[in-house]
Amino acid sequence: MTTTTPKPSFALITLILPGPDRKRQPSPYHFRVTYRNPEPTGPGCLMTWDVLVGREPYQVALERTADGRTEWHCTCADAVYHGENNHAHRCKHVQGLRELFPRAA
């Protein structure tokens, strides 16, 4: 049996973000790419990530709308709350990824 070493790529990204505890201690968040559109110029889902932290992973998605804008989605409580209230606020998961992919933002 052979073991293969994963190619170094953006497949798994670790970001240090304010943690989930009250003190918001910086904590490592692991973002694993779960989908990448091979033709990222048209409308539709461009990329998705699983955010691995704590017990439940979050899903983050980057979508291109029909009129060419990009929209971020996250399943965490923070993003859902502000999304329902139409706030411009972005959760820390999306903010972290936006800094990595400034052209997509």
Q: What are phi and psi of 68, to 5 degrees?
A: 90, 0
Instruction: Please pick, from the candidates 31, 47, 62, 93, the single residue that binds Zn ion as defined by CB under 5 A.
Output: 93
- Taking CB under 5 A as the binding criterion, the range among 3-11, 38-46, 67-75, 81-89 that sits at the site for Zn ion is 67-75
| Residue ranges in 42-61 that form contacts with Zn ion under rule CB under 5 A | none
User: What does the radius of gyration of the chain's CA atoms come to, in whole angstroms?
Assistant: 15
**In sequence order, what are the beta bridge partners of 17?**
27
**Residue (47 or 79) nearer to Zn ion, CB:** 79
- Taking CB under 5 A as the binding criterion, the range among 1-9, 19-27, 62-70, 84-92 that sits at the site for Zn ion is 84-92
User: Min. distance of Cβ 61 from Zn ion in angstroms?
Assistant: 11
With the C-alpha atoms ordered 6, 93, 47, 80, is the resulting torsion angle positive or negative?
Answer: positive
Closest CA to 49 of 85, 80, 93, 105: 93
Query: In whole angstroms, what is the distance from residue 7 CA to residue 88 CA?
Result: 37
- Taking CB under 5 A as the binding criterion, the range among 1-9, 16-24, 66-74, 97-105 that sits at the site for Zn ion is 66-74
Contact between 79 and 86 under an 8 Å Cβ cutoff? The reply is no
Query: Contact between 62 and Zn ion (CB under 5 A)?
Result: no
Binding site for Zn ion (CB under 5 A): 74, 76, 79, 91, 93
